[in-house]
């Protein structure tokens, strides 16, 4: 799927493509600035026009998906499409600045652009300080900040907002090798993907990651009758629940509550027993603490699961599909 047309929201749009469950889809995504920030003088507040920020590619319908089902999005490959990437501050956006909702009388912090060199061969992107000569090579760890489905209740939600439909969760866990599960709210589910990052710290504290256009390969699949309340992730070592809300403790509560009830269900465990087991074993990293909702993750090591498997093993099957695809490429 070539991203020749972008959308800036989840919901309110017909499928651009419909695929059968299990299909491998190749797609491209633009960066969160729509590619408009190409150098240190391209200030986002000048070269981007609200609301045309954070374009997403899609939506893609999964044939047969009905409300109550889960769509699975397995990331096979996420590859920076250019040899540069970009990060910026943005007026009144970020965790260490007054914002339009954490409203204060401070003038905005300076708006600045950092250009990164991207070397996919060596697997690095290079940070270069603006006010001194420091350069630091950072490992590439490509991921998508924005992945989600059409929301419930007919809502149309800007692509910068994360929520129960997914969206702009901005977690570094959304990397190749991860399967994400979303609740289906409308026929087809309508998956959209965007906001590629060469890498991102947890919390995305300045408001933007190492933003890049991406060439991405996903497998889209369907799990009938398995809609989670909030997006869930799975990789080879961990199950993960997400919560996106404000204040941040509510994002934490949502993610932990979901993981406790999920664990209870997977292990046939009393809910308080699951609460206890999760309490001693969970990891709780921040996704983002800058967007219109904040995102927390609750990560459970699979070693705790006594062999139980989520969604009847769909992650393992999608891993096999991915392996087969990559072997043939």
Instruction: Please give the residues from 159 up to 198 whose contact with a second copy meets the rule CB under 8 A.
Output: none
Residue in the structure block whose two tokens are 């972008």: 6
Q: Exactly one of 243, 295, 318, 322 binds a second copy (CB under 8 A); which one?
A: 243
Residue in the structure block whose two tokens are 């921040």: 286
Find the shortest distance in angstroms from Cβ 288 to a second copy.
10
Find the shortest distance in angstroms from Cβ 221 to a second copy.
27
The verdict on 2 binding a second copy (CB under 8 A) reads no
Find the shortest distance in angstroms from Cβ 27 to a second copy.
23
Is 73:174 a contact under the CB 8 Å cutoff?
no
Of residues 104 and 327, the one with the C-beta less far from a second copy: 104
Find the shortest distance in angstroms from Cβ 16 to a second copy.
17
Number of residues that bind a second copy (CB under 8 A): 91
Is 97:108 a contact under the CB 8 Å cutoff?
yes
Find the shortest distance in angstroms from Cβ 81 to a second copy.
19
Of residues 9 and 72, the one with the C-beta less far from a second copy: 9
Q: Is the dihedral of CA 190, 195, 201, 207 positive or negative?
A: negative
What six digits make up the tokens of 48? 């981007």
Find the shortest distance in angstroms from Cβ 328 to a second copy.
34
Closest by CA to 94, choosing from 171, 246, 206, 244, is 206
Of residues 219 and 235, the one with the C-beta less far from a second copy: 235
Closest by CA to 113, choosing from 46, 42, 198, is 42
What six digits make up the tokens of 127? 């940070």
Is 261:255 a contact under the CB 8 Å cutoff?
no
Q: Is the dihedral of CA 78, 84, 89, 90 positive or negative?
A: negative
CA pair distance 8, 12, nearest whole angstrom: 10
Find the shortest distance in angstroms from Cβ 204 to a second copy.
6
What six digits make up the tokens of 155? 């809502």
Angle between helices 271-281 and 248-267 (to 10 degrees): 120
CA pair distance 255, 128, nearest whole angstrom: 36
Residue in the structure block whose two tokens are 């699949």: 221
The verdict on 237 binding a second copy (CB under 8 A) reads no
Q: Exactly one of 68, 123, 201, 324 binds a second copy (CB under 8 A); which one?
A: 201
CA pair distance 250, 244, nearest whole angstrom: 8
For the chain, the straight-line distance linking the first and the last C-alpha, in angstroms and rounded, comes to 17
The verdict on 276 binding a second copy (CB under 8 A) reads yes
Of residues 110 and 225, the one with the C-beta less far from a second copy: 110
Residues recorded for the chain: 329
The verdict on 119 binding a second copy (CB under 8 A) reads no
Q: Exactly one of 45, 281, 309, 321 binds a second copy (CB under 8 A); which one?
A: 281
Positions in 136-155 near a second copy (CB under 8 A): 136, 138, 152-155
Positions in 5-64 near a second copy (CB under 8 A): 8-9, 11-12, 50-51
What six digits make up the tokens of 45? 């507040």
Of residues 54 and 179, the one with the C-beta less far from a second copy: 54
The verdict on 307 binding a second copy (CB under 8 A) reads no
Q: Exactly one of 19, 180, 254, 322 binds a second copy (CB under 8 A); which one?
A: 254
Q: Exactly one of 29, 57, 178, 200 binds a second copy (CB under 8 A); which one?
A: 200
Positions in 77-116 near a second copy (CB under 8 A): 87, 89, 94-98, 100-106, 109-110, 112, 114
Of residues 82 and 112, the one with the C-beta less far from a second copy: 112
- Fill in the DSSP letter of residue 212: -
């Amino acid at each position: 799927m070539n991203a020749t047309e972008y959308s800036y929201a989840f919901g309110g749009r017909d499928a651009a493509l419909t695929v059968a469950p299990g299909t491998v889809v190749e797609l491209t995504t633009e960066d969160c600035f729509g590619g408009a920030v190409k150098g240190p003088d391209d200030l986002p507040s000048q070269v981007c026009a609200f609301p045309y920020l954070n374009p997403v590619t899609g939506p893609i319908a999964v044939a047969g998906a009905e409300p109550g089902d889960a769509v699975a999005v397995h990331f096979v490959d996420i590859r920076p499409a250019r040899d540069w990437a970009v990060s910026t501050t943005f007026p009144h956006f970020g965790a260490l600045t007054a914002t339009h909702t954490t409203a204060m009388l401070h003038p905005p912090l300076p708006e600045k652009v950092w250009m990164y060199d991207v070397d996919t061969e060596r697997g690095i992107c290079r940070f270069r300080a603006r006010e001194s000569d420091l350069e630091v090579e950072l490992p590439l760890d490509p991921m998508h900040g924005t992945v989600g489905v059409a929301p419930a209740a007919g809502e149309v939600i800007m692509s910068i907002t994360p929520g129960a439909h997914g969206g702009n969760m901005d977690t570094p866990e959304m990397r190749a090798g991860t399967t994400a599960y979303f609740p289906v709210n409308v026929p087809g589910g309508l998956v959209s993907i965007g906001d590629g990052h060469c890498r991102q710290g947890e919390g995305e504290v300045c408001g933007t990651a190492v933003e890049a256009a991406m060439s991405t390969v996903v497998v889209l699949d369907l799990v009938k009758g398995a809609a989670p309340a909030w997006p869930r992730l799975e990789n080879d070592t961990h199950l993960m629940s997400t919560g996106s809300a404000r204040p941040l403790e509510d994002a934490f509560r949502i993610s932990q509550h979901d993981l406790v009830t999920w664990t209870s269900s997977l292990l046939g465990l009393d809910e308080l027993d699951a609460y206890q087991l999760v309490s001693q074993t969970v990891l709780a990293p921040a996704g983002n603490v800058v967007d219109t909702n904040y995102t927390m993750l609750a990560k459970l090591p699979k070693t705790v699961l006594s062999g139980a498997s989520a969604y009847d093993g769909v992650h393992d099957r999608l891993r096999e599909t991915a392996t087969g695809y990559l072997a043939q490429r």
